[in-house]
Structures are given as structure tokens and as C-alpha cells.
């Protein structure tokens, strides 16, 4: 019967939603059935929704067919709130609209905007997004509000419930209600008169029950998201205010949140932080209690944040002070501390903020005076330098994935968050630490928002045996007893109730409050179809079921016979196996929302690896491998930006390279072709030039429109690389080759003084590709780079046989890792000779090539154009900035090398108005992938053209020739190397 209902739902849903946004295949159901939590359910249907009308119609359909529905945004939820074995509706990439009020004190947001993006939007106005979960750089607004997720600074005074102004919600019957719109409210009062009446009855009943009303106030005096939010019933008279605030923390169990208006928060311009170290967690807690009492002359709290990190947290991030302490303990250098017992060391990351430098210093002095009553392991030191304190907060934000990365392979990483009233903090914290240790969780850690009495604890758990499951169950029962029965705290402080604490909601709140929660649920969702099993679940053991497996990624074992060692692959797999599927990577994954994300690729390859190892279901294995090829392999750019937002630095591009390697076994036609190209590289490039000449001739003959139409048809029909008007003419720097043969060392100038010199290695791309037909510049890049270097007085040395040399990136991207390493070794030898054993710096004009060179070549100083110009040429050239606006694209390789600020600073020396488009990361061209899978390049740059058109820019600059082709194609303006801009705006300093 249920199967028939799903089929009927699908048939009708297909009339509402385009088929490409409805997923029923094995691969994507598994991929979307995984979130950051430790539970897993596989949905029957996944739908990526686009707007309110779609969601409204889908809910009507689900209601008619009596099918459960769960909503999901970023999937960073930690306790199983966003998983389903029925219908999963995703509200992410299509839900990113926003508006800011004229006074900047309110912002209206759709649920798919990432929290950090909200802060970026508000920063120019000195405002910020008040809720601040540690996952704010990845979590989306919908999840933040619906879980009432908070974090380091917002406490209970500025969480989503306190700053929410109004909400647009869609009820299970498809009705749209905008609580901030008088017309919508009036209409709802007519169509849902009984609904409003029952809200008012519940409000009045709660207020008449003074004991219950007082309990609600007490429970919400600290962080608390256990169960539904009952605070609105005692805070507001207006039923629409109650309805709007009931959404906060409801985890999708009441309605769909399509838009929310929230107050913004003043962003203090002056900040300082200190990492305080104490020898015991109890002493650290006492210090936090003392700091909590500090207020300034205006009545504001002096300390804005105090994050506690126990010894395991510090160990997981290799904190240098912890390592020093551990060494002193081991050598018995610390009196009163048992040798080998470093478990007492506890850090408190403390932050204060102010409106002026003077206020900030007053705050620091007050905190230092307060701390004199406590013994710290090292002296207290505050820093107001962002480059210093940002590192502290990055460590804090990454604790969960970092601890998860230290877990024993095959175990699951679990996190829960509880809260105590501040006066109970010292004793309760020490008891919590002892309780966890008593259950045998030696690698567990405790950390979190101590200033709010709110702690997270992380345990690494195996569920492979019934004994392990019982151990976990016993731990949770004892946690319940400690937190609720002894200290009357919160079992869930800020991550939403989820599945893990659902069995304990009634126990924490009592029968009267729980009865109200059930009444609210029945009012909003009478059939119980919205996110069933979360917050309300009749199964007392629901929290020990449906655990997510984390099988190990292992080498395929299909018998590769290349020079890539097993140990190399094991190292890569070991790093990938640290992934806990938290989703922090997805903000930098360009294919996220298009095909698969970096997290989903690991999820799927884990299952594929498990099936390969077990041999249990060869049919399903073959299906997953087949379904993975396009979304998993072919549309992965392999750029590695995912590693920059992963606290463990996991690069899913490495996984893609291994998969491609497995698809090209030694002896296969593809591998032989790659090997031939490597051995005859100069000839291959010579063969490519006539192809570029033919394309340019055809373009001139047919015209742009006809050429584009014909080549697009051939691409779609035959899969040949797609031609675009940005395709370059051929280039062959023959005079430079002749010069390279003669260049052994730079000549001497007047008086025998040796001139400054650089080894210039033009990338193979720039040795082959010249200018596009309608290029705004006149010289190919190699010639321009030579003239710019000579303008600055540099002698240029070219490596011998440079037409045969390559960094190896081409082969690496195809999975031919051994050939890539061979080509890199050839290049290294040539550069070593040309630089006279590292005497001269080396310049490569293509940032992706330079990135691989830096990864593999360590004994020479290597530079890409922007860095070389900024470091070596800046004082040898006179810059005269132009007044026209220019735009800069920061390549993924520059971001990974930490050079984003360098190219921007260089551009600002050249132009008075430099525009860096927002939310544009990797361009997705990925070497030649922009020719073969141009849809990936187009999706990655979907937000570029509107910003270009709005800015009035007519030329863009970067430092990767292939990226520039894709940028030109998708932006509407030409992109060229940053070297052209520098040359235009400079003259020699001695001229």
C-alpha cells in the first residue's frame, strides 16, 4: 500500500517539479540520506525544491497520500533532525534571497543562505547575524533557526527566538502564512479561525497554571532546545507572534519555514581574546563563574564569550601549550600533578568587545584583575590582533571534526550538548567529566560555551556489538540523571532535540509541559506527517537505532602496476577516513547543489568500498559504480578547495584522482595514450597548434553565431570538447626556445655587478595557447611576461628543453599519478640546473601549475605571477593607478597557497576600484574539464555575470589561462593575466 502511495505521489509531483530535481535512484537517495549526525535513514524520494508554491503543492500531495515529509537545508544538523525514510525536501541552493532594512537593523532571509554569508552582507553596516553556531560558515539559516542553533556569543539573549521578528511558513495543508504581513494575517484568521482560537486557549491555560508558567521561564533562563519551544506562550499575547516563535527549534515538525525576518546585532569594532589555561576543569569553571559576573559601567557584560576546551580537545588540535604541559607532567616538573596525568589541563578561550580602544583596554584590565584570584598555568595574555585571535577561534570552531578525526577507524563520532545553571557549573562539570570516564570513554572530550553553562561532549562510539550499544545507552541514562534529576539543566542546549534526546523530552519537562507540546504538534500537524520520530517518538529506544555506518575507504585492489606506492595510497585513504561527514567542506565545493558535493562523494565511496570488500551485493555495487561516474567523477573539479573549510584538511580531490587512477589501469588504452603524451610532449603540443589554427580559421569563416551553434551540436551529439569564442589562437615562442638554449647564467652589468635574474618557466598551456580572436590585449602572455620582467631590470633564464617540460598537473587530474610524478621530477631537474641549484627564484605563469610544483618541489623558491610581481618587482616599478574599475578572479590554487590577498593588493596598486565578485570560488574549468563538461563551469560561475554587469567592469584579471577561458565565456567580459594590468599601469623606476 505504501509503495503504491509513493508511486502516486511521484506521478503527481512530476507535474509540479522538473524531473531533474526529483531523485529516486539508489545513488542520490543514499547521498542525500546522510547528514552530519550519527543516524542514517534512506529516503524514498528526494526533491530539491525551488519556491514556496512548489513546497505548498508538495505538502498538499503528501497530506493527501499520508506520506511523511522531512525538510533539509545544509545538513549540518548533528542529532538526526534532517533525515528521512520517506520524502526529503531540500531547501538549499535555490533559497538564497535576502533583503536588508533601510536602517540595517533587520534582515529578511530565505532558508538556504549560509550564516557566514549573512555576516558578510551585514558587515559593511557594522551589523552581524546574532545566532553564531560553530558551524556558521556552513550551516544555513533554515537549519539555524529551526534548531535554534546558537554558539559562542549569542547565549540566550540573542538566539533565534529572541531576534526573530516574523516568519513566512507553509503549513501541512499547503497554507502560506506571513506573520509580519497584515493581509496574510487577516486572511489566516478567516480560513483558520479554529487554529487561532486553539493557540489562544493554550496560551491562557499555560498562564493560568502558575507553576507551569514559572517552570517555562526557569527552563529558558539557560540555553534549552529540548522539545518544542514553549516560551512564546508566556512572552507574547499576539497569537501570530506565538506561531512565528513556535517555529524556532521546531526542527520541521510543525511547518516549513520559507522566510524569516530577524533583528541584526551591533558588531563591536574592537575585540580581544585570550586563551587561558588552568590545571583543572573545576578551577577553570570557577573562573568562568567569576567572569560571568563582570559588567561594565553601562551594565553590559564585560566578557562576551568564554569557551572551555578540556585536555582532549586541546590534544586533538595539537595545542602547543598542552604539548608543553604534557611534557612537563611526563618529566615530573609540575608539583602536585601526578606523572603522566595531563587530563587536568583546561583552556578557556575568552573574548571581550568594545566600542572604542579605551573601552577595550578597560575590559581587559577588569578581566585580568578578576583572574588574579585563580591560578593559571601560563600568564594571562590578551591580543587584539585579528591575525592572532582568529586562529584561536578557528581551533574552537573545528573541535568537533578534529576530535572526530582522531577516532579509531570504523567508529562513529557522536556529539551532544547540555546546559547547567551557571551556579552549578564547577561541580556539574567535574561530575560530567567523571561520568563519561566511568563509562570507559577514555578519548571523549568536553568543550563549549562555558559562559552560558553550555557544554558539548564528544565520544567516539562503535555500534558493532550489542555490548557497545548497551554501553552507550547506559551513558545516556546516566547523563539524563545528572543533568535533569540532579541539576535540573537542559539535555539539549542548542543543537535541537533530534532523535537522540527524543525519549527524554517528557522526563525533562514533566507531564504538563509535554502535554502542551503534544497539543501544539497535533494542531499544526494532525496526521503526524512532518518529520516523524523527531521530538515526539513513542519508541523509548529510538535513540539506539538507525546508526550511521562509517565503513573504511580502501584501495580497490584491481591490480595496478604503476609506481604509486601502496603506502602513498594508504596515506591518502587514512586522511579521507578521518571524515565524519559534517558537511563543512560543502561551502567550498563548486558542484554542491549541481551533482554531488565533496561530503556526498565520500559517503558514496565508503559504501562502494564496503560492498567491494564484503562482496554481499554485487548488483547494487555495479549500480552504484555506474551511477557515480557522471555526478561523482566527471563533475568533480578536483580543485581541493573543500580542504580549506574542512578542519581536518581533507581533500576530496585526492579521492577523485584515485578513482580516475583505478579507471585507467596500466596497459589500458587511456594509460598508454597518457604515457605516450608524456614521452612525446613537445610533439603533442605541436600537434595541438594546428587544431587551434583550424578552429580560429573556422571561426573567421563561419562567424561566432554559426560556429557556436555547430560546435555545440557536435558537443552534445558526439561529446567532443566544446568550442567557445574565448578559444585562443595557437602560439609558439620560437625565439624564446633559441634563447633558452643559450641561457646558462645571467650576464654581468656595468662594473662586473651581476644583474638580478629569474628562471621563467612558461607553462605548457601558455607555450601553446595564444590570444583569443577578439582579445583586448595584443601580446601572448609569454611575451608580455618577458617584457614586464625586462622593464623591471630582470635577466630571464629559461630552463633547457622547456617545450618538453610539464609540472604533471594534466596527468594528476586524469588519475595517472605515476606519470604526473615523473613529469614533475623532470621539471625539477631542469629548474634545479637553470637556477644554479636554487640560486635564482623561479616563476611559473600559471597558478594551478605552480601549486603542484610547490606541493612536490621543496628545494627551490617557486612563485606565480602576482606573488613574484608583488614581492620582487614592486619597488622596481612605478605604479600609476587607473580610474576604471577592474575585477579579479582568485583561482582555487591561489586560495590554497594563501595568496588571495596578494593578487587583490597587487590589483589595488593598479586600479582605484577593484571588484572581487562574491560567492565565486573555483571556476570549475579544471584544466580541460571546462571543454568536456562545460555545464560544470557554467554552474560554478552562475553568480558572476550579474555582479559583472552591475559593476560596469569591462575586463577581468586572473592568473590561469584555462580559468580565463571559462571566465570569459560565462561573464560576458574578457579575462586575461594580472601581468597585463601591471604592465599597463607601470613604468621602470629608473626611467
Q: What residues contact 125, with CB distance under 8 A and at least 6 apart?
A: 100, 104, 264
Assign domain 270-495 to its CATH superfamily. Answer: FAD-linked oxidase, cap domain/gating helix (3.40.462.40)
The Cα–Cα gap between 15 and 873 comes to 61
What Å distances lie between residue 363 and 105, 369, 371, 372, 383, CA to CA?
A: 26, 10, 12, 15, 12
The Cα–Cα gap between 966 and 294 comes to 55
The Cα–Cα gap between 838 and 736 comes to 22
The Cα–Cα gap between 496 and 287 comes to 29
> Which has the minimum average pLDDT: 223-237, 268-282, 445-459, 775-789?
445-459
What Å distances lie between residue 23 and 26, 407, 658, 844, CA to CA?
A: 9, 33, 27, 44
Residues 678 and 822: beta-carbon distance below 8 Å? yes
Give pLDDT, residue 567: 67
The Cα–Cα gap between 212 and 234 comes to 10
DSSP E strands, 297-380? 303-309, 346-354
Secondary structure letter of residue 510 according to DSSP: -
Residues 660 and 562: beta-carbon distance below 8 Å? no
Give pLDDT, residue 559: 46
Q: What residues contact 542, with CB distance under 8 A and at least 6 apart?
A: 499, 502, 503, 533
Residues of the chain with CATH 3.40.462.40: 270-495
Average pLDDT, integer, range 908-936: 95
- DSSP track, 526-567: TT--BSTTSS--S-TTGGGSSBPP-PPP----S---SSS-HH
Give pLDDT, residue 169: 98
Residues 566 and 555: beta-carbon distance below 8 Å? yes
Secondary structure letter of residue 727 according to DSSP: P
The Cα–Cα gap between 44 and 42 comes to 7
The Cα–Cα gap between 965 and 937 comes to 10
Question: In the sheet where 842-844 sits, what is the strand order?
Answer: 795-797, 757-761, 842-844, 862-863
The Cα–Cα gap between 425 and 419 comes to 9
> Is the pLDDT score of 153 beyond 60?
yes
Give pLDDT, residue 448: 87
What Å distances lie between residue 245 and 159, 202, 231, 250, CA to CA?
A: 12, 14, 8, 9
Q: What residues contact 174, with CB distance under 8 A and at least 6 apart?
A: 56, 57, 59, 60, 63
β-bridge partners, 308: 348, 448
The Cα–Cα gap between 169 and 175 comes to 8
The Cα–Cα gap between 887 and 973 comes to 10
The Cα–Cα gap between 578 and 580 comes to 6
Secondary structure letter of residue 872 according to DSSP: I
DSSP E strands, 248-336? 256-263, 265-266, 270-278, 303-309
Arithmetic mean of pLDDT over the chain: 92
> Is the pLDDT score of 145 beyond 50?
yes
The Cα–Cα gap between 416 and 493 comes to 9
CA atoms within 13 A on the CB side of 638: 23
> Is the pLDDT score of 744 beyond 60?
no
pTM: 0.93
> Which has the minimum average pLDDT: 162-171, 601-610, 741-750?
741-750
The Cα–Cα gap between 188 and 166 comes to 15
The Cα–Cα gap between 865 and 4 comes to 62
Nearest Cα to Cα of residue 695 among 347, 880, 369, 931: 931
Residue whose C-alpha cell is 516574523: 166
- Of all helices (H) and strands (E), which one includes residue 328? helix 320-330
Residues 901 and 920: beta-carbon distance below 8 Å? no
The Cα–Cα gap between 806 and 826 comes to 8
> Is the pLDDT score of 741 beyond 90?
no
What Å distances lie between residue 939 and 47, 645, 646, 727, 922, CA to CA?
A: 19, 20, 22, 19, 11
Residues 492 and 499: beta-carbon distance below 8 Å? no
Residues 253 and 535: beta-carbon distance below 8 Å? yes
Nearest Cα to Cα of residue 860 among 841, 846, 843: 841
Nearest Cα to Cα of residue 170 among 273, 256, 266, 45: 256
The Cα–Cα gap between 365 and 732 comes to 66
How many helical (H) and strand (E) elements, i.e. helices and strands, does the chain have?
Answer: 43, 29
Helix (H, G, I), strand (E, B) or coil at 75: coil
- Of all helices (H) and strands (E), which one includes residue 975? strand 975-977
Residues 454 and 185: beta-carbon distance below 8 Å? no
Residues 815 and 634: beta-carbon distance below 8 Å? no
Give pLDDT, residue 298: 82
Nearest Cα to Cα of residue 139 among 87, 94, 78: 78
Helix (H, G, I), strand (E, B) or coil at 771: strand
Report the relative pairing of strands 45-48 and 22-23 from DSSP bridges.
antiparallel
> Which has the minimum average pLDDT: 146-160, 729-743, 754-768, 830-844?
729-743
- Of all helices (H) and strands (E), which one includes residue 796? strand 795-797
The Cα–Cα gap between 370 and 381 comes to 14
Helix (H, G, I), strand (E, B) or coil at 52: helix
The pLDDT-based confidence of 332 (bands split at 50, 70, 90) is confident
Residue whose C-alpha cell is 573543500: 642
Residues 526 and 518: beta-carbon distance below 8 Å? no
> Is the pLDDT score of 750 beyond 50?
no
The Cα–Cα gap between 596 and 655 comes to 14
Average pLDDT, integer, range 16-22: 96
> Is the pLDDT score of 526 beyond 60?
yes
Residues 415 and 78: beta-carbon distance below 8 Å? yes
Per-residue model confidence as pLDDT tens digits over 468-523 = 999 999 999 999 999 999 999 999 998 899 999 999 999 999 999 999 999 999 99
Give pLDDT, residue 562: 62
Nearest Cα to Cα of residue 969 among 939, 981, 641: 939
Percentage of the chain beyond pLDDT 70 is 96
Residue whose C-alpha cell is 493554550: 202
Nearest Cα to Cα of residue 501 among 480, 529, 516, 485: 480
Give pLDDT, residue 560: 53
The Cα–Cα gap between 655 and 25 comes to 23
Helix (H, G, I), strand (E, B) or coil at 842: strand
Per-residue model confidence as pLDDT tens digits over 355-395 = 999 999 999 999 999 999 999 999 999 999 999 999 888 88
The Cα–Cα gap between 296 and 362 comes to 9
Helix (H, G, I), strand (E, B) or coil at 788: helix
340 — alpha (psi -120 to 50), left (phi > 0) or beta?
left
Query: C-alpha angle 869/874/877, rounded to 5°?
Result: 110
What Å distances lie between residue 107 and 159, 179, 182, 454, 538, CA to CA?
A: 15, 15, 19, 28, 39
The Cα–Cα gap between 245 and 570 comes to 50
Amino acid at each position: 500500500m505504501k509503495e503504491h502511495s509513493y508511486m502516486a505521489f511521484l506521478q503527481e509531483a512530476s507535474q509540479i517539479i522538473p524531473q531533474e530535481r526529483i531523485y529516486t535512484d539508489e545513488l542520490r537517495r543514499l547521498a542525500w540520506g546522510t547528514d552530519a549526525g550519527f543516524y542514517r535513514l534512506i529516503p524514498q524520494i528526494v526533491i530539491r525544491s525551488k519556491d514556496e508554491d512548489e513546497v505548498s503543492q508538495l505538502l498538499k500531495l503528501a497530506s493527501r497520500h499520508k506520506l511523511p515529509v522531512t525538510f533539509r537545508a545544509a545538513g549540518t544538523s548533528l542529532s538526526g533532525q534532517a533525515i528521512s525514510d520517506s520524502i526529503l525536501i531540500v531547501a538549499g541552493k535555490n533559497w538564497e534571497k535576502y533583503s536588508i532594512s533601510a536602517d540595517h537593523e533587520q534582515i529578511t532571509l530565505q532558508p538556504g543562505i549560509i550564516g557566514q554569508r549573512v555576516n558578510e552582507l551585514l558587515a559593511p553596516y557594522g551589523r552581524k547575524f546574532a545566532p553564531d553556531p560553530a558551524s556558521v560558515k556552513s550551516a544555513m539559516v533554515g537549519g539555524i533557526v529551526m534548531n535554534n542553533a546558537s554558539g559562542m556569543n549569542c547565549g540566550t539573549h540573542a538566539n533565534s527566538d529572541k531576534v526573530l521578528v516574523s516568519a513566512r511558513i507553509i503549513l501541512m495543508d499547503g497554507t502560506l502564512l506571513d506573520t509580519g504581513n497584515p493581509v496574510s494575517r487577516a486572511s489566516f484568521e478567516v480560513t483558520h479561525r479554529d487554529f487561532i482560537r486553539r493557540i489562544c486557549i493554550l496560551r491562557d491555560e499555560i498562564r493560568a497554571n502558575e507553576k507551569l508558567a514559572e517552570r517555562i521561564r526557569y527552563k529558558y533562563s539557560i540555553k534549552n532546545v529540548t522539545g518544542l519551544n514553549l516560551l512564546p506562550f508566556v512572552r507574547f499575547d499576539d497569537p501570530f507572534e506565538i506561531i512565528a516563535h513556535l517555529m524556532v527549534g521546531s526542527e520541521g515538525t510543525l511547518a516549513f519555514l520559507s522566510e524569516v525576518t530577524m533583528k541584526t546585532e551591533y558588531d563591536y569594532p574592537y575585540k580581544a581574546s585570550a586563551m587561558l589555561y588552568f590545571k583543572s576543569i573545576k578551577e577553570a569553571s570557577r573562573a568562568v563563574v567569576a567572569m560571568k559576573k563582570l559588567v561594565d559601567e553601562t551594565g553590559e557584560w564585560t566578557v562576551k564569550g568564554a569557551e572551555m576546551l578540556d585536555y582532549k580537545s586541546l590534544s586533538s588540535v595539537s595545542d602547543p601549550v598542552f604539548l608543553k604541559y604534557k611534557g612537563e607532567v611526563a618529566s615530573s616538573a609540575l608539583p602536585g600533578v601526578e606523572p603522566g596525568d595531563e587530563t587536568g589541563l583546561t583552556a578557556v578561550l575568552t573574548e571581550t568587545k568594545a566600542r572604542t580602544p579605551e573601552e577595550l583596554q578597560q575590559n581587559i584590565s577588569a578581566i585580568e584583575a578578576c583572574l588574579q584570584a585563580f591560578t593559571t598555568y601560563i600568564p594571562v595574555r590578551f591580543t587584539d590582533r585579528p591575525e592572532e585571535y582568529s586562529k584561536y577561534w578557528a581551533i574552537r570552531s573545528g573541535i568537533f571534526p578534529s576530535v572526530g578525526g582522531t577516532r579509531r577507524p570504523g567508529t562513529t563520532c557522536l556529539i551532544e550538548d547540555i546546559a547547567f545553571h551557571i551556579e552549578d557549573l564547577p561541580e556539574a562539570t567535574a561530575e560530567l567529566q567523571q561520568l563519561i570516564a566511568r563509562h570507559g570513554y577514555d578519548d571523549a572530550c568536553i568543550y563549549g560555551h562555558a559562559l552560558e553553562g553550555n557544554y558539548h561532549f564528544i565520544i567516539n562510539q562503535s555500534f558493532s556489538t550489542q555490548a557497545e550499544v548497551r554501553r552507550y545507552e547506559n551513558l545516556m541514562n546516566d547523563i539524563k540523571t545528572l543533568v535533569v534529576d540532579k541539576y535540573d539543566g537542559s539535555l539539549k542546549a542548542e543543537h535541537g532535540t533530534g532523535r537522540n534526546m527524543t525519549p527524554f523530552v517528557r522526563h525533562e519537562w514533566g507531564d504538563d509541559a509535554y502535554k502542551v507540546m503534544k497539543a501544539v504538534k497535533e494542531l499544526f500537524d494532525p496526521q503526524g506527517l512532518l518529520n516523524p520520530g523527531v521530538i515526539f517518538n513513542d519508541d523509548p529506544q529510538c535513540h539506539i537505532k538507525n546508526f550511521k555506518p562509517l565503513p573504511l575507504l580502501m584501495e580497490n585492489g584491481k591490480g595496478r602496476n604503476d609506481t604509486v606506492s601502496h603506502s602513498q595510497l594508504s596515506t591518502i585513504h587514512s586522511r579521507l577516513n578521518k571524515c565524519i561527514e559534517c558537511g563543512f567542506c560543502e561551502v567550498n565545493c563548486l558542484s554542491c547543489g549541481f551533482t554531488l558535493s565533496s561530503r556526498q562523494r565520500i559517503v558514496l565511496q565508503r559504501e562502494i568500498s564496503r560492498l567491494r570488500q564484503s562482496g554481499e551485493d554485487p548488483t547494487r555495487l555495479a549500480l552504484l559504480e555506474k551511477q557515480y561516474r557522471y555526478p561523482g567523477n566527471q563533475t568533480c573539479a578536483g580543485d581541493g578547495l573543500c580542504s580549506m573549510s574542512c578542519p581536518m584538511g581533507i581533500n576530496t580531490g585526492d579521492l577523485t584522482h584515485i578513482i580516475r587512477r583505478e579507471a585507467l589501469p596500466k596497459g589500458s588504452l587511456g594509460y598508454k595514450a597518457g604515457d605516450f603524451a608524456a614521452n612525446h610532449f613537445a610533439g603533442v603540443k605541436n600537434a595541438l597548434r594546428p587544431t587551434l589554427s583550424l578552429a580560429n580559421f573556422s571561426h573567421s569563416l563561419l562567424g561566432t553565431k554559426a560556429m557556436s551553434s555547430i560546435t555545440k551540436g557536435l558537443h552534445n551529439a558526439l561529446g567532443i570538447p566544446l568550442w567557445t569564442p574565448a578559444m585562443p589562437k595557437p602560439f609558439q615562442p620560437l625565439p624564446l626556445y633559441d634563447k633558452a638554449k643559450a641561457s646558462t647564467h645571467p650576464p654581468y652589468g656595468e662594473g662586473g655587478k651581476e644583474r638580478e635574474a629569474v628562471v621563467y618557466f612558461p607553462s605548457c598551456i601558455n607555450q601553446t595557447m595564444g590570444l583569443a580572436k577578439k582579445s583586448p590585449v595584443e601580446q601572448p602572455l609569454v611575451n608580455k611576461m618577458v617584457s614586464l620582467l625586462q622593464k623591471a631590470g630582470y635577466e630571464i633564464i629559461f630552463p633547457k628543453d622547456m617545450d618538453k617540460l610539464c609540472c604533471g598537473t594534466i596527468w594528476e587530474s586524469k588519475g595517472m599519478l605515476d606519470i604526473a610524478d615523473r613529469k614533475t621530477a623532470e621539471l625539477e631537474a631542469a629548474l634545479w640546473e637553470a637556477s644554479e641549484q636554487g640560486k635564482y627564484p623561479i616563476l611559473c605563469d600559471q597558478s594551478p601549475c605552480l601549486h603542484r610544483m610547490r606541493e612536490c618541489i621543496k628545494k627551490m623558491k617557486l612563485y606565480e605571477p602576482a606573488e613574484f610581481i608583488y614581492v620582487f618587482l614592486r619597488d622596481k616599478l612605478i605604479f600609476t593607478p587607473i580610474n576604471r574599475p577592474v575585477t579579479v578572479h582568485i583561482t582555487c590554487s591561489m586560495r590554497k597557497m594563501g595568496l588571495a590577498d596578494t593578487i587583490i593588493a597587487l590589483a589595488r596598486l593598479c586600479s582605484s576600484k577593484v571588484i572581487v565578485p562574491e560567492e565565486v570560488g573555483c571556476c570549475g574549468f579544471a584544466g580541460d574539464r571546462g571543454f568536456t563538461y562545460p555545464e560544470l563551469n557554467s554552474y560554478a560561475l552562475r553568480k558572476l555575470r550579474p555582479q559583472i554587469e552591475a559593476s560596469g567592469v569591462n575586463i577581468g584579471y586572473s592568473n590561469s589561462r584555462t580559468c580565463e577561458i571559462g571566465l570569459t565565456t560565462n561573464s560576458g567580459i574578457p579575462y586575461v593575466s594580472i601581468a597585463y594590468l601591471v604592465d599597463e599601469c607601470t613604468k621602470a623606476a629608473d626611467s
